[in-house]
């Protein structure tokens, strides 16, 4: 069983829709990260969370430590949001364990 599971694996939506990507983990963590990977392969850190909720522009990330679950939301989605979104958790201070990613496609 993977330590970090994401759902859905693939998501296609129309521009403007509200997007939710889910992440569940089965291990103890010190922090959870949401990352964005573009088609060229580069990885960008979006959020690091250890509790509660964070917002940056149209992106919102939440985490429920008791339920070992996090969600990434995108409001007013746009075709430029099309990318692979990856959930990763810190086991201890440094090592990141990654989910398999969610491929998001936003159609105009």
Enumerate binding residues for other proteins (CB under 8 A): 30-31, 33, 35, 40-45, 47-48, 86, 88, 90, 92-101
Instruction: State in angstroms the smallest separation of the CB of 78 from other proteins.
Output: 22
Nearer residue to other proteins within complex by CB, 77 or 83: 83
Nearer residue to other proteins within complex by CB, 71 or 100: 100
Query: How far apart are alpha carbons 104 and 58 in whole angstroms?
Result: 15
Token pair in block for residue 1: 């069983």
Residue that the structure tokens 């086991």 belong to: 91
Nearer residue to other proteins within complex by CB, 13 or 31: 31
- With contact defined as beta carbons under 8 Å apart, do 70 and 92 qualify? no
Would you give the DSSP letter of residue 91?
S
Query: How far apart are alpha carbons 75 and 38 in whole angstroms?
Result: 19
Instruction: State in angstroms the smallest separation of the CB of 67 from other proteins.
Output: 22
């Amino acid at each position: 069983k993977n330590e970090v599971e994401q759902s859905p694996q693939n998501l296609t939506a129309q521009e403007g829709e509200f997007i939710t990507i889910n992440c569940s983990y089965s291990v103890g963590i010190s922090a959870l990260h949401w990352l964005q990977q573009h088609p060229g392969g580069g990885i960008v850190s979006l959020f690091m969370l250890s509790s509660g909720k964070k917002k940056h522009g149209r992106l919102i990330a939440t985490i429920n430590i008791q339920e070992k679950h996090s969600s990434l939301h995108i409001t007013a989605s746009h075709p430029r949001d099309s990318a692979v979104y990856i959930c990763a958790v810190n086991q201890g201070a440094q090592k990141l364990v990654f989910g398999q990613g969610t491929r998001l496609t936003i159609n105009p």
